[in-house]
Each structure stands twice: as structure tokens, then as C-alpha cells.
Chains A and B, each alone.
Chain A
């Protein structure tokens, strides 16, 4: 019979948190499920297939890498590969061929994560680097392949990939030219007024712009009834997931708030045709900033740990996103902005390190 131990000695840490990697990761998976349901509802069972393939490939790649590097195989089950797989699939257009998520996930896990030393050592967000790999390698497949939500159920659901309600679209001349594009594609086109006017008739740019800023469009954008990547369209359900994470203490609000706030502010400053007449709501709702802002900017490994650093990260990423949207070569800059700020994270952490209790501030 064991003696009761009254004076147990132990080394620090003496206070342990209740969070484990596994718990956190599975909370994130749960938080992503509503958006996944929306994806299946809007883009059909194919969306689910792509997500499953992506997660499967991520798990296999994780297992193979751990095996190769002789690390504990049990790391496969910590859930981080599942999160990477889901997030990568969420970043793909719904009509890509089946091997795209497989290749992207394998790259994300092997190159972006395990080659750097595994979870906790990766410098950049694996899912986003996987997406960057796919965009650089297969530019045609990754920038086309948008489908109108609900198209898989029946023709004529009244929904368009642009998010502009159909009755409004009917009033715009040359509307065919903008029915197959995502809202951000169209926003990008309106920045080049001359080309758009010459193709669709005088004053078309203003008309399109107005339609993008109408209540009907906002509603479609918020609910996710638009063309876009598999998991990025439904702001409402992504927010729902994020609220769950906040309640569970997994998501820290500084990062998303500073990121989305910067996007909104800059959307107003230079997101329109001139200065200070942009549409902040449109810029937050369209494209991937809600997905990116809630689930990728907040990645624990690749973003700063200090409160001040997190705000700097969010503002910086928001700035880069808007610069790409307005002047860059792509309609959306969310993923690149986060990757670039990931690279700056060690620097941000170093310069925002809080003073240790009792440390004297160096003068000069």
C-alpha cells in the first residue's frame, strides 16, 4: 500500500492550463463545421468531397513525414493536420479537380509544416502556404472554377456568383460579362473605369458599383449566397464558429478585430473610385477576409504572442490586403497579406516584448 504523500516536490510550471493542443484543434474543427455545412448547401456534395480529400491527404502526409523523421506517430492525432486540411479546402474554388486539394495539403504539411520541424515550429500558416503553392503552380485552375451557389440543385435559383441580386443585374447592360465572377473580381474591374465603360456602355461602372453596395448584395454576401472559395462565402456562419471559439477561450479577439477594422477603414479610404468614398461593409463581407481574419490571422503558431504585437499584425495584414485589392494583380490579397505578416512575426514579438517585472528600462 502506497504511503500518502504530504510534501510533494515538483518542478515548475506549478499552474497548468486546461488547454491542450488536441482540445484547441478540435474546438477549431467544431467552429468550422457551420461554414462547411453552408459550403455543401451552396456548392453541393462536391464541396464536401474536396474537404474530405484535403483532410485525408493532410493526415497521410503528416503520418508519412513523422514516420520518415522518426517522430512520435501520435502527433497525427493532435488534430492540427485536420484543421490545416479543412482550411486549405476552404481556400479553393469549388470547381477545382479532385487532385488539387490532395497536392495542396501534401505540400502544406510536408513543406510548410514538417520540413520546418512540425507543429509549433512552422513560420508560415501551412494552409495558406499550400494555397500559395497551388496558385503559383496552377494559376488557371485556381482563378477560375467559380460556380454560382445553388447551381448544382437546379437552374435559375435567382442567385449569381457576383452576389448582385438578379433583378438588379438585369438592369445593367452587358450583365453577362459579370455573372460568372466573384464580387471582388467585379470590384477589381470597376477600378478600370474606361475598359468597363467601353465594354458595357457609358455609366455602367457607376451602376455596377451601386449594385455592389445595395442591401440585397450585402445580404447575399453575409449569408454566403455568392461565388467564391468553398469556405469563405458565408460570413454569418463563420462568425458563429468564431463566437464559439471566443466562448471557449481559444480565439483572442485583438487579432481579428484589428485586421477586420483595418480592412474596413482602408476600404472606406481608398476602396472606392476616389478617396474617402469606398464601401467599408462591402470590403469586409466580400472575399476571404472573414475566413482569414477569424481563422487564419488567429493561428496561434504563426502570429505574435504579445497583445501589442497582435494589433500590429492585424493592422499590417489589413493594410497589405487592401493594397493588393486596390492596386495589386489579384482581386483578393487576404492570403498573401497573412503570409507576409507571418514572416514578420518573430520581429514583431521581439520588439513588443513586455518588460519583465522589476526590469529597469535602459536609457538612451
Chain B
């Protein structure tokens, strides 16, 4: 039951994007479509689970003073794996995510979990935590990508949802950079309102 708690906290209570404001770069940059968000979410989940696992296994071996470089090496290993596998089996997705695949290395959500959790918890707990954070990150990406793709292109997962007329004349700004910031602002605002309501009760 404790394991379930480690997993579930990543989804809402300690959601990496909305509660910890980690991983903003991919969150803002690649969420122009739900497909990209899913791909990026899956790749990041894989990396955070694997790196949490390895960091937790090696936590007693890694000298304290050089722990950050060690984490980076571990994370970079898995990112390289993801990069190559995606390039081989999903070249289309690999192309549309572009530079943001190698940049998973510096996603602070992953480094943050290594430093803040895996480094002082058991292997099993770290796996659950990594998986929860990964899923929470993916859900957050899908949430903002849904707004952006529907408003900016009239589609959801490439399926036309708002009709042909809207598709031909969408609110383009939603899939441009400023749209990402504006929509993120509104989502964070909504979360704050929900929090405040909960606290007020």
C-alpha cells in the first residue's frame, strides 16, 4: 500500500509540472500536438524509471562529492538508448521531437528525482516513484497539448474535432510559443484555485 502511495503522489499531489514546476522546457516546447506529448512523455517516463532504479541500486557506491556527474552519466546512458531506439522504430516522431530527445538528459524532473528520492530510498520505492512521476509528467503534457492542438489546429491526436471551418482558421497562437505560456498560466491558475478551495474547506 505504501508503494501505491509513492506512485500516486506523482500524479496529482506532487505532480512534477504543476506542483514542482520541473521539466518546463519539454512541457512548453514539444506540446504542440498530443502525439508529440505522448512520445515525449513515454520517453521521459522510461528514462526516469531506469535512472531512478540505477541510482537507487548504486546509492551506497556513489561518492557524495561526485554524485551529480554520476547521475548525469546514468541518465545520459538511458537517453542515448531512447534516442537510438526511437530513431530506428519511430523516425517520424524522432524527427518532430528533434533536439528535445537528447535534451531529456537535462530535464530537471529526472535529475530532481535522482537527487531528491532515489538517492535515499530503496530500489522498489524508487521504481514506484519514478513510474509515478513519469506518468504524472505524461498526463500534464497531454493536458496542455490537448488545449494547444484543439485550439491551434482544430484536431485531437490528428482527429478533426471542431469541424472543417475551424480547422482552416484555427487560433494559431495556441501552437506558437506565446500560446504555450498563456495556456500554462491558465492551467497553473486553475490548479491554484482548486488548491485554495481545498485549503479553505
Q: A111-B182, A115-B185 are in contact. Are A133 and B173 (CB under 8 A)?
A: yes
Q: Which of B169, B176, B185, B189 sits near A136, CB closer than 8 Å?
A: B176
Contacts of B170 in A (CB 8 A): 137
CB distance from B129 to the nearest CB of A (A): 35
Contacts of A141 in B (CB 8 A): 169
- Do residues A137 and B182 form an inter-chain contact, with CB atoms below 8 A? no
Interface string of A124-149 (1 = CB under 8 A from B): 00000000010011110100000000
Contacts of A139 in B (CB 8 A): 172
Task: Specify the chain B residue showing the minimal Cβ separation from A68.
Answer: B193
Bound CA span A49–B156, Å: 35
Task: Specify the chain B residue showing the minimal Cβ separation from A103.
Answer: B171
Task: Specify the chain A residue showing the minimal Cβ separation from B176.
Answer: A136
Contacts of B171 in A (CB 8 A): 103, 137-138
Bound CA span A229–B178, Å: 24
CB distance from A61 to the nearest CB of B (A): 15
CB distance from A164 to the nearest CB of B (A): 33
CB distance from A58 to the nearest CB of B (A): 18
A-B contact count (CB 8 A): 19
Bound CA span A137–B166, Å: 12
Bound CA span A137–B170, Å: 7
* Of listed A111, A136, A138, residue having the most chain B CB within 10 A: A136
Q: Which of B172, B182, B185, B189 sits near A138, CB closer than 8 Å?
A: B172
Q: Which of A103, A111, A115, A136 sits near B172, CB closer than 8 Å?
A: A136
CB distance from B139 to the nearest CB of A (A): 25
Bound CA span A90–B171, Å: 21
Identify whether the interface residues of A are mostly helix, strand, loop, or mixed: helix
Bound CA span A111–B185, Å: 10
Interface string of B163-186 (1 = CB under 8 A from A): 000000111111010100010010
Contacts of B185 in A (CB 8 A): 115
* Of listed A136, A137, A141, residue having the most chain B CB within 10 A: A137
Task: Specify the chain A residue showing the minimal Cβ separation from B170.
Answer: A137
Contacts of A133 in B (CB 8 A): 173
Interface string of A95-139 (1 = CB under 8 A from B): 000000001000000010001000000000000000001001111
Bound CA span A139–B173, Å: 10
- Do residues A136 and B182 form an inter-chain contact, with CB atoms below 8 A? no
Q: A111-B182, A115-B185 are in contact. Are A138 and B176 (CB under 8 A)?
A: no
CB distance from B132 to the nearest CB of A (A): 32
Interface string of A174-201 (1 = CB under 8 A from B): 0000000000000000000000000000
Contacts of A138 in B (CB 8 A): 169, 171-172
Task: Specify the chain B residue showing the minimal Cβ separation from A135.
Answer: B173
CB distance from A199 to the nearest CB of B (A): 30
Restricting to B115-169, which residues have a CB under 8 Å from any CB of A?
169
Bound CA span A137–B185, Å: 18
Bound CA span A309–B173, Å: 32
Contacts of B169 in A (CB 8 A): 138, 141
* Of listed B170, B172, B185, residue having the most chain A CB within 10 A: B172
Contacts of B182 in A (CB 8 A): 111
CB distance from B150 to the nearest CB of A (A): 14
CB distance from A304 to the nearest CB of B (A): 25
Bound CA span A141–B172, Å: 12
CB distance from A65 to the nearest CB of B (A): 12
Bound CA span A139–B171, Å: 10
Bound CA span A82–B190, Å: 28
CB distance from A16 to the nearest CB of B (A): 36
Contacts of A115 in B (CB 8 A): 185, 189
CB distance from A49 to the nearest CB of B (A): 20
Contacts of A111 in B (CB 8 A): 182
Contacts of A137 in B (CB 8 A): 170-174
Interface string of A66-110 (1 = CB under 8 A from B): 000000000000000000000000000000000000010000000
Contacts of B176 in A (CB 8 A): 136
Bound CA span A230–B185, Å: 32
Task: Specify the chain A residue showing the minimal Cβ separation from B189.
Answer: A115
Contacts of B173 in A (CB 8 A): 133, 136-137
Bound CA span A199–B121, Å: 72
Contacts of A136 in B (CB 8 A): 172-173, 176, 178
Task: Specify the chain B residue showing the minimal Cβ separation from A110.
Answer: B186
CB distance from A98 to the nearest CB of B (A): 13
CB distance from A103 to the nearest CB of B (A): 8
CB distance from B25 to the nearest CB of A (A): 22
Restricting to A332-347, which residues have a CB under 8 Å from any CB of B?
none
Can you list 13 contacts pairing A with B, beta carbon distance less than 8 Å? Answer: A103-B171, A115-B185, A115-B189, A136-B172, A136-B173, A136-B176, A136-B178, A137-B170, A137-B173, A137-B174, A138-B169, A138-B171, A139-B172
Interface residues of B (CB under 8 A from A): 169-174, 176, 178, 182, 185, 189
Interface residues of A (CB under 8 A from B): 103, 111, 115, 133, 136-139, 141
Known contacts A115-B185, A139-B172, then 5 further A-B pairs from the complex at CB < 8 Å, ordered by chain A residue: A111-B182, A115-B189, A136-B172, A136-B173, A137-B170
Report the 3 A-B pairs with minimum CB-CB distance, sorted nearest first.
Answer: A137-B173, A136-B173, A137-B172
